[in-house]
Amino acid sequence: MTEPTTAPLLSVRDLSVAFAREGSTALAVDHVSFDIQRGETLALVGESGSGKSVTALSILKLLQYPAASHPSGQVLFEGKDLLAMSEREIRSVRGNDITMVFQEPMSSLNPLHTVEHQIVEILELHGRLRGAAARKRVIELLTEVGIPEPETRLGSYPHQLSGGQRQRVMIAMALANEPRLLIADEPTTALDVTVQAQILKLLKDLQTRLGMTMLFITHDLGIVQKIADRVCVMKSGRIVEHGSVRDVFGAPQHPYTRALIAAQPKGEPAPSQPDAPLIMETKDLKVWFPIKRGVLRRTVGHVKAVDGVSLAIHRGETLGVVGESGSGKTTLGLALLRLISSRGPIVFMGQPIDALGFKAMRPRRNAMQVVFQDPFGSLSPRMSVADIVGEGLRVHMPKLSEAEREAKVIAALRDVGLDPETRHRYPHEFSGGQRQRVSIARAIVLEPSFVVLDEPTSALDMIVQAQIVDLLRDLQKQRGLTYLFISHDLRVVSALASRILVMRGGKVVEEGDSRSIFRNPREAYTKALFAAAFNLDTASEKATT
C-alpha cells in the first residue's frame, strides 16, 4: 500500500476501439473514460452493439487484433498502461490480477477437462500452487462459490453440471488467484431467472467478503440496481451518462437513459374470453422422445418433453406459457402446430388435426402461424423481405397474380410498422426489432386466426421489446387474433397474457387467470419464479410509477 488509496484501481482514459472491415474502419468504442475505485462495483449498461463488451475485452487486450485497434486511449491499472504492455506482460495480468467471467458458461469451459483440471491449470499457470496444495485450494474455492459436496465434483465434466453450477465453476476459476479486479460480462444472461438471482447473490456476497472490485457488464437494469454502486450508460460506443446508481435511476439526465428506464412492457392484456368459440384445444398431450441404447437401438426410456398437458384457448385471448429453459414450453407450441409428432387429441377450430400428415396439414397452415425467438435465425438470409413475406402466399393462394401478392405483402409490412419500400432488402440490413417485425408480417399476411409466439421478444433489447409487445397487442385487437405466448420473461407475459400456464419438466404446475396468479401464486415453483423475476425490479417499478 505505497500508493495513496484514493487513486482508482482501474482508470480507462479516452479509450477508442476501431474494427477494420472491408477496407474501412468502424469505431465501436468512441473516446470512453471511466474510473473504478477499489472495492466498488461499476456497471456498464447498454443495449446490444453499444460497445460495452468491447470496452471490457479491450481492458485485457482480448480482442481480435490486428482487425481491432485502439486509435486512442490508455487503460491504467494501478498506474500501468495495459494497452502499452507486450503480450508477455499482459499474460501475467490476465487470470491473475484481472479475471473475467463470461456470458456463456457452457462454451467458456473446456468440455474435455474436469472441473479440478480447469481450476488447477490457472493456479499452476501463475505459479501459485501445485499438487496437493492446489487441490486443497480448489475445494476451498468450490465451497466458496456454493457448490455442494465439492470433493465429489472435482472429477465432473462441464456437461455433468447444470448451467448455474457451470457459472459457479467459472466464478471459482476467476477467483482462484485472488484477483484485484473481476470483470463480469453478462454473467447471468444465459441463465434461468431463479438461477440468475442465486448467482447475483453469490457475486455480491463474494465481493463484500473479499473486498473485490468488480466491473459488471449487463443490459438488464434490474441487475444493475441490485448489484452496482455506480453505473455508466453506454450508447453507440459512448458513455452518455454516469453516476451513482441512485442518482442515475432516481433522476436520469440523458433522454436515452430515461427511455431505457421507461422501457418496460406495459399495458393491459386482452381480456380472457370464456364464451368465445374454442380455437385450440388439447387433452393430455404428450411429446416423448425415445432414448435408444445399444446396437439394436432398443428404447430404454423416454425424455418426456411434454407430459400430459391439457389446454383450451378461446378466440381473441392470449394464453401465456411460462417456464424455465427445458420445461417443454417450445415443444408444446411446435406440437400444437403439428411440426413435431405427439400423442393426444389436438382440436383446431373444431376439427381434430392430430392424425393429419404433413400434406393434409398444408391447407390448414394459413390459419395457424408461428413467430420464433431468434430474429437472426428465423429469416432466410438469401431471400429478400418481399420473398420471405410472400412465400406463404405462394403456397396458400397460388392463384394470386404477382401484383396482388405484392399488394398483400405491402399491406402486411405496413401493418407491422415497416416501410414497404424496404421490401427488396435482405434481412441482414435490418435491426433485430425490424427483423422480428418481418417475422410477424410473414405470419399475419396469411390472415391466421391462431399464432404461436415463441419467445418473440427474448432476443431483443429492452426498448424494442416494449415496442414489439405493443405491436402484438394492437394486431390482436385489430384482427381478433388468438395467441399462444411462450416466454420465460414474466414481465412481458404480464403485459400480454390474460391466462397463464406455468410449466416445469413437461408438466403444468399451475394455471389460471394471470392477474390472480401474479398476485397470489400457489405453487412453490411459481412463487420462486415470480420472486426471482420481480424482486430484481421492485426498485425500477418505484422509479417508473
Q: Which spans of this chain sit near other proteins (rule: CB under 8 A)?
A: 20-22, 66-67, 266-267, 334, 337, 339, 358, 361-363, 365-366, 368-370, 372-374, 377-380, 382-383, 391-392, 395-396, 416-419, 422, 424-426, 429-431, 433-434, 437, 439, 442, 446, 463-464, 466-467, 470-471, 474
Please tell me the distance from the alpha carbon of residue 41 to that of residue 203, in angstroms, as a whole number.
10
Min dist CB 426 to other proteins, Å, is 7
> Can you read off the three cell numbers belonging to residue 486?
411462450
DSSP 332-347: HHHHHTTSS--BS-EE
Burial class (CB in 10 A: 0-12, 13-18, 19+), 26: exposed
Give the residue carrying C-alpha cell 409487445.
469
> Can you read off the three cell numbers belonging to residue 414?
405496413
Min dist CB 370 to other proteins, Å, is 5
CB neighbour list of residue 10: distance below 8 Å, 6 or more residues apart: 35, 36, 59, 75, 76, 77, 98, 181, 213, 215
| Complex with other proteins: residue 20 or 411, whichever CB lies closer | 20
Min dist CB 210 to other proteins, Å, is 39
| Complex with other proteins: residue 281 or 455, whichever CB lies closer | 455
Please tell me the distance from the alpha carbon of residue 338 to that of residue 336, in angstroms, as a whole number.
5
| Complex with other proteins: residue 131 or 398, whichever CB lies closer | 398
AA identity, residue 56: A
Min dist CB 266 to other proteins, Å, is 7
| Complex with other proteins: residue 96 or 436, whichever CB lies closer | 436
| Complex with other proteins: residue 76 or 441, whichever CB lies closer | 441
CB contact at 8 A, 62 and 25: no
Cα torsion 420, 422, 428, 431: sign = negative
| Complex with other proteins: residue 105 or 433, whichever CB lies closer | 433
| Complex with other proteins: residue 200 or 481, whichever CB lies closer | 481
Q: What is the DSSP letter of 6?
A: T
Min dist CB 338 to other proteins, Å, is 9
Min dist CB 252 to other proteins, Å, is 17
Q: Measured between alpha carbons, how far is residue 68 from residues 17, 64, 88 in Å? A: 7, 6, 19
Min dist CB 419 to other proteins, Å, is 5
| Complex with other proteins: residue 174 or 464, whichever CB lies closer | 464
| Complex with other proteins: residue 373 or 498, whichever CB lies closer | 373
Min dist CB 306 to other proteins, Å, is 17
AA identity, residue 50: S
Q: Measured between alpha carbons, how far is residue 364 from residues 184, 361, 389, 486 in Å? A: 48, 5, 18, 22
Min dist CB 24 to other proteins, Å, is 12
Min dist CB 43 to other proteins, Å, is 25
Min dist CB 328 to other proteins, Å, is 17
| Complex with other proteins: residue 231 or 464, whichever CB lies closer | 464
| Complex with other proteins: residue 302 or 527, whichever CB lies closer | 302
CB contact at 8 A, 154 and 116: yes
DSSP 300-354: EEEEEEEEEEEEEEETT-EEEEE--TTSSHHHHHHHHTTSS--BS-EEETTEE-T
Closest residue by Cα to residue 63 from 42, 90, 43, 89: 90
Beta strand segments in 63-174, E = 68-69, 74-77, 80-81, 98-101
Question: Across the chain, which distance is largest between two alpha carbons, in Å?
Answer: 83
Please tell me the distance from the alpha carbon of residue 315 to that of residue 273, in angstroms, as a whole number.
7
